[in-house]
Amino acid sequence: MTAVRPVRLNRRAGLTAGASLVGLSTPGTAFAVGEPASMNRQDHAPGTAPPHRPGLQVAPPLRDLADARGIRIGAAVASRPLVAEPAYREILAREFSSVTCENVMKPSFLQPSQGRFDFQAADAIVAFATAHGMTIRGHTLVWHNQNPAWLERVAASGENASAALRDHITGVLTHYRNDGPVPVPAWDVVNEAITDTGALRDTLWARALGPGYLADLFRWANEADPDARLFYNDYGAEGMGRKADAVYELLRGLVQDGVPVHGVGLQMHVGIGARQSPSRPDLAANIARLRALGLEVHVTEMDVKLQTGTGTDDERLDEQAKVYADILGTCIEAGVTSFTFWGFTDAHSWIPGFTGKPDGALPFDTTYAPKPAYHALTRVLAGG
Ligand code: XIL
**Residue owning the nearest CA to atom 9 of ligand 1:** 103
The CA distances from residue 191 to 71, 114, 205, 230, 298, in Å, are 23, 21, 12, 12, 14
Task: Indicate the residue type of 135.
Answer: T
pLDDT at position 44 is 52
Task: Indicate the residue type of 82.
Answer: L
pLDDT at position 36 is 34
CA gap 303, 106 in Å, rounded: 20
- pLDDT tens by residue, 23-75: 222 322 222 222 333 333 334 555 556 555 444 445 799 999 999 999 999 99
- Report residue 282: phi and psi, to 5°: -65, -45
Confidence of residue 89 (pLDDT cuts 50, 70, 90): very high
Separation of CA 80 and ligand 1 centre (Å): 15
Strand residue runs (E) in 94-210: 98-101, 135-142, 186-191
Separation of CA 3 and ligand 1 centre (Å): 34
Separation of CA 299 and ligand 1 centre (Å): 15
- 25 or 102, which is more confident? 102
**235 CA: nearest ligand 1 atom:** 10
Average pLDDT value for the chain: 89
Separation of CA 303 and ligand 1 centre (Å): 12
pLDDT at position 2 is 35
Confidence of residue 21 (pLDDT cuts 50, 70, 90): very low
pLDDT at position 51 is 54
Contact 111/168 with Cβ under 8 angstroms? Answer: yes
The answer on pLDDT for 120 being more than 80 is yes
**269 CA: nearest ligand 1 atom:** 18
Confidence of residue 196 (pLDDT cuts 50, 70, 90): very high
If one counts every other C-beta atom within 10 angstroms of the C-beta of residue 252, the result is: 15
- 27 or 284, which is more confident? 284
pLDDT at position 370 is 98
Answer yes or no: 301 catalytic. Answer: yes
- pLDDT tens by residue, 179-189: 999 999 999 99
Separation of CA 139 and ligand 1 centre (Å): 10
User: What is the CATH number assigned to the segment(s) 41-381?
Assistant: 3.20.20.80
Q: DSSP letter for 8, please.
A: P
What sign for the dihedral angle of Cα 276, 206, 211, 202?
positive
Choose the weakest-confidence range: 40-54, 234-248, 310-324: 40-54
The answer on pLDDT for 233 being more than 60 is yes
Question: Residue 232: CB within 6 Å of ligand 1?
Answer: no
Structural domain boundaries of the chain?
Answer: 41-381
**Residue owning the nearest CA to atom 15 of ligand 1:** 102
- pLDDT tens by residue, 126-178: 999 999 999 999 999 999 999 999 999 999 998 999 999 999 999 999 999 99
Question: Residue 234: CB within 6 Å of ligand 1?
Answer: no
- 55 or 338, which is more confident? 338
The answer on pLDDT for 382 being more than 60 is yes
Q: What percent of the chain has pLDDT over 90?
A: 84
Task: Indicate the residue type of 361.
Answer: A
The answer on pLDDT for 18 being more than 70 is no
pTM exceeds 0.85, yes or no: yes
140 cis-preceded (ω within 30 degrees of 0): yes
If one counts every other C-beta atom within 10 angstroms of the C-beta of residue 102, the result is: 20
Strand pairing report for 263-266 and 186-191: unpaired
User: CA nearest 195: which of 236, 232, 143?
Assistant: 236
**139 CA: nearest ligand 1 atom:** 14
Rg (CA), the chain: 21
The CA distances from residue 375 to 37, 44, 268, 317, in Å, are 10, 20, 19, 11
The answer on pLDDT for 20 being more than 90 is no
The answer on pLDDT for 363 being more than 70 is yes
What sign for the dihedral angle of Cα 349, 232, 333, 64?
negative
pLDDT at position 33 is 25
Mean pLDDT for 248-272 is 98
Question: Residue 102: CB within 6 Å of ligand 1?
Answer: yes
CA gap 125, 200 in Å, rounded: 33
Answer yes or no: 85 catalytic. Answer: no
